[in-house]
Amino acid sequence: MSENGKITVFLLDDHEVVRRGVHEMLAMENDIEVVGEAGTAADALVRIPATRPDVAVLDVRLPDGSGVEVCREIRSRDSGVKCLMLTSFSDDEALFDAIVAGASGYVLKAIRGQELLTAVRDVAAGRSLLDPVATQRVLERLRTGRGAPEDDPAASLTEQEQRILDLIGEGLTNRAIGERLHLAEKTIKNYVSSVLSKLGMERRSQAAAYVARRQATRDRSRP
């Protein structure tokens, strides 16, 4: 919290009208202070660590990436920042990614203003807003390794996770992958854990072998 005891909040949304509306609504509350905002993932990754908010309200879909990826990166740097995902779409896959990334909550933009205020306060207090039934479904997928079509286990990977899987296939270490993608080594470690979970694997050597098999299959299918 800020020195005056208020809950500090950072807003990330590429739609200025939405961002401004949420900002104004939060700013009207005596116990909440908006300390920064951004319209892109790149800006958020610079500004959130600088402002160190209690809660980061993150739009899931962004022009230059995903709010889930921002959540994962920020949480790897500072676990004290709670992330509340805000999206227009009810999507099991995005919920899955948000939970793996360490988000504390996942709400739709159709949420009422008062409900959003309550969500911010609850997340700041350390409570989880993730629906218990949906969370259990996601945790079951993590435990069993299910969640992708049987013919392509990698179908559920995000674009960033797919890039990291390919680099694992090239034999790169977490540090080397981080240097290639300009991300912290700890962030890459979190990504790798997510990739292995989605593929139902325990070791990166299994993932590397999977990439090799997939590439061989593609090569054979080419005329």
Render 65-118 in DSSP notation, one character per residue. Answer: EEHHHHHHHHHHH-TTSEEEEEESS--HHHHHHHHHHT-SEEEETTS-HHHHHH
* Tens of pLDDT, residues 91-137: 666 777 787 788 888 888 888 889 899 999 999 998 887 756 656 66
Among 4, 1, 7, which Cα is nearest to 121's?
7
pLDDT digits (tens, 9 = 90+) for 171-208: 889 999 999 988 888 889 888 988 888 888 888 888 88
pLDDT recorded at residue 146: 47
Query: When comparing pLDDT for 210 and 70, which is higher?
Result: 70
What is the maximal distance between C-alpha atoms in the chain?
68
Confidence of residue 87 (pLDDT cuts 50, 70, 90): confident
